[in-house]
Amino acid sequence: MGLRSAAGRPVAIARGAPTNVALLALVAIAFVTGWLAFAFATSPARWSLILHATGGFAILALLPWKSMIARRGVGRPRRGRWASVLFGALVLISMAAGLLHSTGLLVYWGPLTAMDFHVGAAIAAVPLAIWHVVARRVRIRPADMSRRNFLRGSAVLAAAAATYAGSELVVRAIPTPGAARRFTGSYEAGSFRPELMPVSSWLFDAIPHLEPTAWVLKAGGREWTSDQLANFDDRVTATLDCTGGFYSTQEWAGARLDRLIGNASGSSIRVTSATGYDRRFPIENAGSMVLATRFGGRPLDAAHGYPARLVVPDARGFWWVKWVTAIEVDDLPPWWQSPFPLQ
């Protein structure tokens, strides 16, 4: 039962439902816009991240209200209290890591990045979030849909947007390292210095050490040896923007995909790695993608995809398949794949 004022009316502050519902919307917005930003290496990533950060700051703005609700909840001897507390801890870890990344105060932590913690904690929070919402069900009452609550919600959003804009101004004015990040939020690393380019893989791929004599590439109905591929000298200067939070621009050299697939007809191109990792592309893009064997005038090293890796200008790093062994054309549509690799 909610608190009642002397006049017998419910005290608005005792009703947690509007705060909880607003949190549900904000956490969902932060989650979706985060992935949307990962999907693009072009300007939609920025718009998505503006929404993302505003959503994140709005969650912070609701903390005073939510901590009142949480304190009350923790005080009730109920099953699953600690799951809620763990959920809270993961959201706070994610948020802290996001802010460390964006300000640049801590971008790398050993072999991991602040972004790895940010996204890792957010993903780990998902099952707990679903449990929390089901186990701590809220009931919306007509009084919750009041003009007053609408105005409060708008004020929270406006304050969040202003805080985000303010934080970006402070980052640039001091400046903190975050001032130098790209529109995707990524930091420059080792551009035009291949030996300094960081190494990263999507999820679980270990670096395979492939023997050039044993390696062949299947493409365009034939097999190519590494010597045959080395004869191609198609060049492209392109930026690999990694979802781990760094970007690196290099001059890549190798074979344009349209030359390798010949006149094969179909709807999409599937590029497969020696590790089993694969990505699918529209066939129309064959002329803009390069199967690189060199970067910055030197051969690729094992960590960067030796003997051959894909270069996909304007696409996030997880599209740049490394250690490529097959390039096949078929009639499946290019969207016939998980939007983000599952391995």
Query: Which residues of the shown chain bind ligand HEM in the complex (CB under 6 A)?
Result: 16, 20-21, 23-24, 27, 30-31, 34-35, 37-38, 49, 52-53, 56, 59, 69-70, 72-74, 76, 80-81, 84-85, 87-88, 91, 94-95, 98-99, 101-102, 118-119, 122, 125, 132-133, 136, 138, 167, 181, 185
CA–CA separation, 38 and 180 (whole Å): 19
Q: How far is CA 86 from CA 30, 77, 97, 121, 263, in A?
A: 19, 16, 16, 11, 56
Contact 39, 32 (CB under 8 A): no
Residue linked to tokens 């989650």:
31
Return the SS3 of 214: coil
For ligand HEM, the closer CB: 144 or 205: 144
Q: How far is CA 43 from CA 46, 310, 315, in A?
A: 5, 22, 11
CA–CA separation, 129 and 123 (whole Å): 10
Minimum CB distance to ligand HEM, residue 122 (Å): 4
Backbone angles phi, psi at 341, to 5 degrees: -60, 145
Single-letter amino acid, residue 313: P
For ligand HEM, the closer CB: 247 or 306: 247
Minimum CB distance to ligand HEM, residue 175 (Å): 14
For ligand HEM, the closer CB: 32 or 302: 32
What is the distance, to the nearest Å, from the Cα of residue 106 to the centroid of all Cα atoms in its chain? 18
For ligand HEM, the closer CB: 138 or 303: 138
Strands 246-256 and 290-295: antiparallel
Residues forming beta bridges with residue 341, ordered by sequence position:
none
Minimum CB distance to ligand HEM, residue 66 (Å): 6
Residue linked to tokens 């913690």:
117
Minimum CB distance to ligand HEM, residue 162 (Å): 13
**Dihedral sign for Cα atoms in the order 292, 294, 296, 301:** positive
Minimum CB distance to ligand HEM, residue 93 (Å): 10
Minimum CB distance to ligand HEM, residue 274 (Å): 27
CA–CA separation, 230 and 254 (whole Å): 7
Q: Tokens representing 275?
A: 């590790």
Minimum CB distance to ligand HEM, residue 5 (Å): 19
For ligand HEM, the closer CB: 23 or 217: 23
For ligand HEM, the closer CB: 52 or 256: 52
Minimum CB distance to ligand HEM, residue 126 (Å): 9
Minimum CB distance to ligand HEM, residue 63 (Å): 9
DSSP 65: H
For ligand HEM, the closer CB: 129 or 290: 129
For ligand HEM, the closer CB: 8 or 339: 339
Instruction: Count CB atoms within 10 A of the CB of residue 73.
Output: 15
For ligand HEM, the closer CB: 217 or 315: 315
Instruction: Count CB atoms within 10 A of the CB of residue 105.
Output: 13
**Dihedral sign for Cα atoms in the order 251, 252, 255, 258:** negative
